[in-house]
Chain A
Amino acid sequence: MNKTIFRTTLKHWCSSAGIITLCGLYFMCLLGYSVCTIIFTEWQLIEPSFVNTFFMLPFIFALGTGIIGKDISSGVLSTLFSRPLARTKYVIAKWVALSVATSAIAVTLALCEQTILSVTYLQAPDVNLFTTIAERVSLCFGLSATMIGLSSLFAGNKNMVVWCVLFGGMWILLQLATALPSMYFGSYFSLAWMASFTPIMKAIAEFTTSICLPWLDMTLVANTLIPSAATIFGYSFTVLFMLTVAIWRMNNLEVSYAQQQ
């Protein structure tokens, strides 16, 4: 990992007023939501977490949109790669920077929630803080790899667009696949259709979800008598696959001033 790129990437986010404002606003919204939940529902017992793991997505999107793609389209890469810099290290530095930054936000948010609960009830919350944090951090590292992989393939901010198309498209496809046959051919045909195509649809949904939302469901991973090895292998595969794609793409990308002109 190249430490200079790691530091520069973090500094870039810290100096970007737009990103800080966006993340700050969202962070405040989530904390406000937590406080309102306590006040309005008159909860008397302690809940492990108000905030769903997937509420981390906007942070990752805010920081990860165009993380490499912008460097490609703006010509920064031409300058960077004219130096003796291993491209693999560049990709890894970017991934680590994005993961660390989003994980820091996730951990801070989890700790803030716990503090609010402790202050409200004047006792330490009876929660599995490790599980909550582990789930969120796994999502941060996993989705960062996906954003890096997509960003290396598509210049500019298109990685975000591609993610939306992949994930949204998959859901729309599944909804249509379920709804259309019953609309046009009646429920009997629909049932037969579903019975024969469900495994395929399930496979599509699983694959797209594992690529778009790689995370470790800690209920499955940590709370079982036999931890789900498939979940761990699936997660590791996605992270490594997306990083390999990014590294391969960077190593084969021809960037020069002549191309820019």
Chain B
Amino acid sequence: MLNNSKSIKAPSRATAMWLPVACVILFGAKLACDQFEAKCPPSFHDHVQWRNIQDAKLEAKSRQMPIFEVVTSDFNGEHFKTLERYYFSDPTLANAINKDYIPARSISKSSNNQWGPHFGYDRDSKTTVDFANVRVIPLDLQERSCDDYRLPHLYHSPGFKQNVLVFLAENKNYNSSYNVSIAKHDWCKLADVEAKAKKENKKILYFFYQQYNDTCYNVMQYPFNDYDKKKLLDKHFACSIVMERATPVTKNPVYVDKLVKKYEVQSYPSLVSVDPNTGKFEKLGGTCNRSEIDDFLKKESAK
């Protein structure tokens, strides 16, 4: 006989009232917090120990360390918030900056041009110390074709942090002595380089360098920092700098234009190795990394 005393109760099909109520409360809370955060935006843990730019310069001089200078158009505005969020709130990046650099903040007063704040090397002519302004370009420059920056773009994408870490690691020993090493090199005059190369049975190595271009400066200084590389250059090449100075206002000297045309230089910096006897040339152009420069120099010196 069937036992119907324990009847199965049909489950309720009513939607719990607290669900829509909770939704409304959460949405209201979100709107309220949006309003509040618009007035008082959340600030990030800034792990970098910033100094005043003047103090940083003194410290850089005494400790012979590069300055990590952040130039923004306003002190606590949108630019710095973004930098804080992506760079300085990250403990790994902040540690690298604090350890290897002297971090300094400064505000550009000439930020009304289309390139945003003006950046330039800060070379103290009296003390002859070259401060390496390892600068951070504000966010508004990231989409413009400006070569004159030294940190990678500020995109929050996979790999961006890596680029910055590599950059910081590469430049941490960047101090005045490197510039001296470039200046002290026995550069040939453009007019004499061919004759000297033929006489000493060497190849010509042209460094096509664009004025005010930091990437060029970094690439240029690399071979001269390394004793072996410098020895290699001295042994196999007669080196000469070709300075490209063309701007909307100034023009290149004719001999520079001729060389640019002859060696089909389209990007800066470019290293061109020329055999003076045959006139054959090899070129390494654009922003190249250290291993590419090494390979190029090795290959050309072995020929």
Contacts and interface: CB of A to CB of B under 8 A. Distances in A.
Contact of A48 (B8, B9, B161): B161
Contacts, number: 102
Contact of B23 (A47, A126, A220, A240): A240
Interface string B124-162: 000000000000000000000000000000001111011
B15 A223 contact: no
Contacts of B169: 44-45
Contacts of A237: 23, 26-27, 30
A84 B85 contact: no
Nearest to A86: B11
B26 A225 contact: no
A227 B40 CA distance: 12
A40 B210 CA distance: 28
A116 to B, nearest CB: 14
Interface string A220-240: 100111111110011011001
A88 B16 contact: yes
A27 interface: no
A234 B30 contact: yes
Given A223-B44, A230-B30, A244 B23 contact: yes
A101 interface: no
B214 to A, nearest CB: 21
Which size bracket describes the interface of B in this complex? 35 or more
Contact of A233 (B33, B43, B86): B33
A84 B11 contact: yes
Contacts of A219: 85-86, 89, 156
Interface in A197-238: 219-220, 223-230, 233-234, 236-237
A84 B42 contact: no
A23 interface: no
B37 interface: yes
Interface stretch (A49-57, A150-158, A162-170, A186-194): A49-57
Interface string B16-42: 100110110011011001101100101
A224 B11 contact: no
B177 interface: no
Interface of A: 37, 41-45, 47-52, 84-88, 126, 219-220, 223-230, 233-234, 236-237, 240-241, 243-244, 247-248, 251-252
Interface of B: 8-16, 19-20, 22-23, 26-27, 29-30, 33-34, 36-37, 40, 42-45, 85-86, 89, 92, 156-159, 161-162, 165-166, 169, 289, 291
Given A225-B42, A228-B42, 19 more contacts: A37-B159, A42-B289, A43-B166, A45-B162, A84-B9, A126-B92, A219-B86, A223-B45, A224-B42, A225-B44, A227-B42, A229-B29, A229-B33, A230-B33, A233-B27, A237-B27, A240-B19, A240-B22, A247-B15
Please give me the 7 A-B residue pairs with the lowest Cβ-Cβ distance, nearest first: A230-B33, A237-B26, A86-B11, A233-B30, A224-B42, A244-B19, A229-B33
